[in-house]
Amino acid sequence: MNLSRIALATGVAASTVLLLAGPAAAHVSVQPQGEAAKGGYATLNFKVPNERDQASTVKLEVNFPAEQPLSSVTPEAVPGWKIEITKGKLDKPLEVHGRKITEAVTKVTWTADGSKIEPGYFQQFPVSVGRLPEDADQMIFKAIQTYDNKEVVRWIEEPKAGGEEPDSPAPVLALSAASDDHHGGGAAGDDHAADDKAASAEGDKKETHAASSSSSDTTARTLGIIGIVVGIAGVAFGVLAGRRRSA
């Protein structure tokens, strides 16, 4: 009987530790859909859990690293949330697909507009980005979470290699090795690959149409020449026949 009570007490204690540790471990984080390859494109999910029992999250600000500017940042529409994109001038323009990019996104802000993240729930905010840096192993996105009771939580502490996780760690995106096609993984990479395939297919279609038109023109010219020859032969035959009747 005593052993049963001890086991029960141990189980309750362990459950309490887990419950207490759960909220402390939850924080704003970022994960790619698939993989985020160096030099490629990716769709990133910023995951925002609600850590409060008596308040709801109504705003998220994600700051993009100024030393790793991205030429393309496109957030996905999230029902019930208004999106604001902030851009800034680049000290050094980026060269992308043969054109110069002089400004880049510095911050994306989601503000509740008919929705909110209630206690016990989380929300993901997807963003398509590219191209990812080729000379880095990670990207750090400092985030600010605001609750409807005016509380602000700043997830801005950068982790240190070999050290313990900070109390308010900034979301860190790990970059994988560069892929051969530079499209990366996930939906964004698939979208860019699909665009390339569509452009290629459109080019093939134009070439096929041009070849078909050229073939049609050649056939028309040939038939026209044959018609002229037949017409001349008919006229000559008529003249000869008339002469014979006259004779």
- Cα of 54 vs its chain's centroid, Å: 34
Taking alpha carbons only, the member of 38, 98, 109, 100 closest to residue 73 is 109
Planar angle of CA 144, 150, 151, nearest 5 degrees:
55
> Token digits for 30?
């970022």
> Token digits for 171?
């979301």
Can you tell me the distance from the alpha carbon of 53 to that of 47, in angstroms, rounded to the nearest whole number? 18
Question: What is the 8-class DSSP label of residue 21?
Answer: H
pLDDT, residue 179, reads 75
Can you tell me the distance from the alpha carbon of 85 to that of 129, in angstroms, rounded to the nearest whole number? 13
> Is the bond preceding residue 131 a cis peptide, omega within 30 degrees?
yes
Residues of the chain with confidence (pLDDT) below 70: 1-25, 180-247
Q: The whole model's pTM is what?
A: 0.65
With beta carbons less than 8 A apart as the criterion, state whether 185 and 41 touch. no
pLDDT, residue 163, reads 75
pLDDT, residue 174, reads 96
Helices (H), ranges, 92-185: none
With beta carbons less than 8 A apart as the criterion, state whether 107 and 88 touch. no
Angstrom CA distances, 194 to 8, 186, 227, stand at 57, 12, 48
pLDDT, residue 207, reads 43
